[in-house]
Chain A
């Protein structure tokens, strides 16, 4: 992944592109994420019902692929679904997946320089 792609994935998004966490159809929690880093943080904060709602609708992978344009992470999130995680297990697995991916992305420029 080149530096341009990494910067695009890690960029801060405008309001209309942010991820808005809902618990069900039309019920917005008031939590949103304007970047991948914020998304990872919000995974730990939002009501677990919101994670379940979006996860099983495929909203996370859709936003990651279409807005952040990070196909690799979208695929990793998609793969989690075959284990049918729920509740705190889902929260932990999602957080671990995003966190690991984010670490890889942020460590790349320094490793490339070295």
Chain B
């Protein structure tokens, strides 16, 4: 059983490599291979193949902003939009450096949900009043300030529904978890 991602199909070994890389992307091919029982050249080939296909997008550094001294506030902004304009509104939001994430959602109305950071409440308000409210198609905005962060993680193969489905299928077919 393999996962197809455009031209590339991921197998269990690829998923294991991704999982290990997400724990620590600075590990050597040899260290990853030793841990997974593969040769370093196999690890190298598979990683390079996943990089070429854009499955591994980049290697980056996760910063604890608070420890780094940043005193930013975070808010979750819900923008109610005219459906005809929502794509453009979402694209405009993506251009703003203070907007970290942008999603669209359809409940009773078409919504754009965005995570925003700002120096303080006044800068947050100025950004929303001067740059978001005037966008054509914006009907209303609701903003909630984040007061406490309980969890924040990046997407991981370890908690991917895809991987869970893979595990379930292997259990059914092989009678055990093959991962």
Residues of A within 8 A of B (CB): 15-16, 18, 20, 22, 25-30, 32
User: With the chains together, A18 CA to B134 CA distance in Å?
Assistant: 8
Q: Which 9 A-B residue pairs are closest in the complex by CB-CB distance?
A: A26-B143, A28-B141, A20-B133, A30-B140, A15-B134, A25-B125, A28-B133, A26-B128, A16-B134
Q: Could you say which residues of chain A place their CB within 8 Å of the CB of B77?
A: 26
- Does B145 reach chain A (CB closer than 8 Å)? yes
Q: Could you say which residues of chain A place their CB within 8 Å of the CB of B141?
A: 26-28
A61 → chain B closest CB, angstroms: 16
- Does B172 reach chain A (CB closer than 8 Å)? no
Q: Could you say which residues of chain B place their CB within 8 Å of the CB of A28?
A: 128-129, 132-133, 138, 140-141
User: Count the B residues whose beta carbon is within 8 Å of the partner chain — how many?
Assistant: 20
User: With the chains together, A55 CA to B102 CA distance in Å?
Assistant: 32
B120-137: which residues lie under 8 A (CB-CB) from chain A? 121, 124-125, 128-130, 132-134, 136
Q: Could you say which residues of chain A place their CB within 8 Å of the CB of B133?
A: 20, 22, 28, 32
Asked if A25 and B140 sit within 8 Å, CB to CB, the answer is no
B75 → chain A closest CB, angstroms: 6
Asked if B134 and A25 sit within 8 Å, CB to CB, the answer is no
Asked if B142 and A25 sit within 8 Å, CB to CB, the answer is no
Q: Name 6 interchain pairs, CB-CB below 8 A, sorted by A.
A: A20-B134, A22-B128, A26-B75, A27-B141, A28-B141, A29-B140
B68 → chain A closest CB, angstroms: 25
- Does B8 reach chain A (CB closer than 8 Å)? no
Asked if B129 and A22 sit within 8 Å, CB to CB, the answer is yes
- Does B96 reach chain A (CB closer than 8 Å)? no
